[in-house]
Amino acid sequence: MIKFLLWLILLIFCWPLALIVLVLFPLVWLISIPFRLIGITFEAVFAALRALLFLPARILGGR
């Protein structure tokens, strides 16, 4: 909702820029999808490594 309100304010002050933003926003979103997937993958890998490194401590009951 906040993004929409900001876009409306931009539309009032500078309508050509607002129309360019309206057209380019879906393209930027599509380009960012692979980077999001890479981020999710790295987060999963680091979580698995952390679980593997802390497994002995969890087995021995350390806190």
CB burial of residue 47 (10 Å; 0-12, 13-18, 19+): exposed
**What residue segments make up the domains of the chain, in order of their start?**
2-60
CA distances in angstroms from 62 to 44, 50, 53, 59, listed in the order given? 24, 15, 13, 8
pTM, to two decimals: 0.58
What pLDDT is attached to residue 61? Answer: 84
Q: With bands split at pLDDT 50, 70 and 90, how would you rate the model's confidence at 7?
A: confident
For 11-63, the pLDDT digits (tens) are 899 989 889 988 999 999 999 999 999 999 999 999 999 999 999 888 888 66
Task: Tell me the C-alpha distance between 30 and 12, whole Å.
Answer: 27
What pLDDT is attached to residue 62? Answer: 65
What pLDDT is attached to residue 10? Answer: 87
